[in-house]
Amino acid sequence: MSLNDPLANALSVISYSEKTGRKECDIKPVSKVIKKIFDIMKDRRYLGEFKEIDDGKGGFIRVNLLGSINKCGVIKPRFAIKKDEFTKFEKRFLPAKDFGLLIISTPEGIMTHQEAKDKNQGGRLLAFCY
């Protein structure tokens, strides 16, 4: 398993675990970006609770799965997106209008595309989930 992109690895583990019907999965390595994205997904009811477990080797995150993710993944390359370009990328990565979410890194932090629209922010696309 390649760990060149820890976020891509984390989302693919979650996606695979959801498809195979598991109730929880473990994510290694841990990073602030991964935890923030998991917070956003938990707030939108795509993920259940998750906790960081320190095993003395860098730790891992144990995620409870709700079975509500159809697909999730990273967006590569990390496209720069202006505040008026969201519709183009929603059509490209999400299956329908107002269904799913794009996760964006903005100067004000990591947020969903809807929050970025409301705050009139641009940024870089990180991931999608629906």
CATH 3.30.1370.30 domain position(s) in the chain: 6-65
Architecture of domain 6-65: 2-Layer Sandwich (3.30)
CATH 3.30.1490.10 domain position(s) in the chain: 75-129
CB-neighbour burial class of residue 113 (10 A; exposed 0-12, middle 13-18, buried 19+): buried
Reported as a pLDDT band with limits 50, 70 and 90, residue 98 is confident
pTM of the model as a whole: 0.93
Q: Calculate mean pLDDT across residues 77-103.
A: 94
Mean pLDDT of the chain: 95
Q: Calculate mean pLDDT across residues 99-127.
A: 96
Q: Calculate mean pLDDT across residues 40-58.
A: 95
Q: How far apart, in whole angstroms, are the C-alpha atoms of residue 48 and residue 14?
A: 12
How confident is the model at residue 1, as a pLDDT? 53
CATH topology classification for 75-129: Dna Ligase; domain 1 (3.30.1490)
Please state whether the peptide bond connecting residue 77 to the residue before it is cis, i.e. omega within 30 degrees of 0: yes
